Structure 1
């Protein structure tokens, strides 16, 4: 490669990184440019860890042999099971153990074939392979994301020459920085969605972080908690409490998401969520749909837990509609993006009445009136009740037991 081409591609990498190009597009475009400039790449692999409740990181792949494969694969924990063995047999693991930053295997020229991945490349006709690890400084790590790994191979009869290697050593740090930038943006998306909820997280990333800035919105509100949770925690083995909470939270949250709602807060065993739509009838219908989905999930979950001889429970749900303030509340040092207002308090009180009337779900008259007629017909009144902190007695409704 000519020096001018090396400089041009390096500058291009920096620009594309600043533009926030997706990692798969960045790797594909980079490899295409390298080939056009005379660098004989046959396969490329870039790996970066992340901060995610399920995935440990992502592998980005490119190849020029017309074999179809996914350009990006998220992988789980490499500390357990078969994944641990595969990781420990990789060139990257060896470099981490030895402190190395570069590893080369001249596959067709007598170098040892000491890694399964190198053996696979030799079988595919590759002649040369080089791997890099570019580490981050200690205060530049987030979770497991402490470096960028990359591997590059060629089928050229002479392998990589000195000019090719010099170009890769120039390019790969810039590519790694661009991929790290994209990965950090993805981590930010993940964190705000996991801890704030999808809609609230999106608003925060859009810049809605000023204290006291809140929208007045109309929404269908959901508050739920677990039946007899205190009794269960007093009698169940301590090691069962967190798994129980996780099992039932998974059922509640996935039901809400599947019906188009957004979870705003987990409060111990309780869940606060909202459903928004231009038409209040649609928002209320979605909330009722979430309850129906949840009922099915709870039946399946409780059957499984009983078979495992583990404690089971059910969920109380209160549904209401009303105007709320939706935005940032707190101090300059600690903000919460949530909903507040009388309607939120009333929803919580409705949920707590489920115990008194022994019904799994109660809805307010306002919620019932907002439903489409065919959904409203499924509800029956359970009477008028004085709700703590609410000035007037409220009529509450539940699903007709004969229609459940």
Structure 2
């Protein structure tokens, strides 16, 4: 690979990074460009940590032998159990411990190999291997994302050669920067989705970040909370409270998301969510699908927790439909992307009435009116009630027990 090839590839990396190419696109394109320029790559892998509630990082893989392989794999925590043992026996862990930035192994001639994957590469006919660790500064690290790990492999019996190694040394720093940019964009998407919700997060990333930018939307409102949570919390061991909240919140949030809804806020043991659709009937259907899903999830959860000897409860749910203001509320430098309006207050009051009428779900007359058949036929009246803080009494409905 000539100096002109290196310059052209560096320019390609910059263009791809500015264009917002994903990590997979960067790796695939880089390997293709290197191969076309005379650097005979046969395998490559990038590893970068992330900031995610489930995954510690992601692995990106490329190979030129036509064998089907997932180009991207997400991995969990590597600080306990077998995952920790695997990580601590890896070449990258040893490079971090020693402070090395580069380590080369002529896998065709060296034997035995200190790392299992090198022996597997040798058996597959590869000849030369070089690993790199490109570290980020402490100020530019986010979470565990403090470096980019990579390795590069060739089947060429002569190996990479000094020219090939020099090309990799010159090109990998800009590639690491482009990959870091792509990963930071992914982290931003994860953070806003985790803390704001999927739709609100998307709007914020598109620029809806100034105070007072709201829109009036028609939405189905969901407010669920836990029955007798205060009593359970007073009686339970302190270490049981957060796991209990997490278990039941996971059931509610998963049911809402599976039905296409967006969770706006977690309020203690309560969940405020919305279902938006151009057709209000479809939004009502989605909310009822989520309710049915939630019942199944809570039944399975209670069976598991009972078997474990842990406290159990049930979820009460209020559903309503109406206009709400949807957007940013707060101060100039501390905002909440949420929904507000009389309808939000009403759905909270409807949910709280579940205890008074001993029902797991109550829906407003507006919700029932917007619900199409046959779903609406399963909603039966429980009477007319005055809701605290709401100016008008209204008829409330529940699911017909015969259809549960």
Quote the residue 2:209 is aligned against: 209
Structure 2 gaps of 5+ residues are none
- The reply to whether residue 367 of structure 1 matches residue 367 of structure 2 is yes
SS at match of 1:322: strand
Structure 1 CA distance for aligned equivalents of residues 294 and 172 of structure 2: 48
Structure 1 gaps of 5+ residues are none
Quote the residue 1:36 is aligned against: 36
Structure 2 CA distance for aligned equivalents of residues 14 and 81 of structure 1: 40
**TM-score, length basis structure 2:** 0.98
Give how far 1:108 is off. 2.3
Structure 1 CA distance for aligned equivalents of residues 322 and 125 of structure 2: 66
Quote the residue 2:402 is aligned against: 402
Structure 2 CA distance for aligned equivalents of residues 30 and 322 of structure 1: 52
Give how far 1:110 is off. 3.5
Quote the residue 1:380 is aligned against: 380
Give how far 1:281 is off. 1.1
- The list of structure 1 runs, each at least 4 consecutive aligned residues, that deviate by more than 2 angstroms after superposition, is 108-112
Structure 1 CA distance for aligned equivalents of residues 110 and 166 of structure 2: 22
Quote the residue 2:325 is aligned against: 325
What value does the CA root-mean-square deviation take over the aligned residues?
1.0
Quote the residue 2:59 is aligned against: 59
Quote the residue 2:47 is aligned against: 47
1:244-283 residue CA offsets vs partner (Å, 9 max, x unmatched): 1111111101111111111000011000000011111111
Structure 2 CA distance for aligned equivalents of residues 254 and 226 of structure 1: 16
Quote the residue 1:345 is aligned against: 345
Quote the residue 1:167 is aligned against: 167
SS at match of 2:310: coil
Give how far 1:111 is off. 6.9
1:192-236 residue CA offsets vs partner (Å, 9 max, x unmatched): 001000010010011001100100000110001000111111111
Quote the residue 2:273 is aligned against: 273
Structure 2 CA distance for aligned equivalents of residues 203 and 163 of structure 1: 48
Structure 2 CA distance for aligned equivalents of residues 216 and 110 of structure 1: 68
Quote the residue 2:196 is aligned against: 196
Quote the residue 1:308 is aligned against: 308
Structure 1 CA distance for aligned equivalents of residues 373 and 37 of structure 2: 67
Structure 1 CA distance for aligned equivalents of residues 294 and 115 of structure 2: 48
Structure 1 CA distance for aligned equivalents of residues 289 and 16 of structure 2: 44
1:90-144 residue CA offsets vs partner (Å, 9 max, x unmatched): 1100011011111111122347621112122111121111110011111111000
Report if aligned partners of 1:384, 1:394 keep a CA contact under 8 Å in 2: yes
Quote the residue 1:236 is aligned against: 236
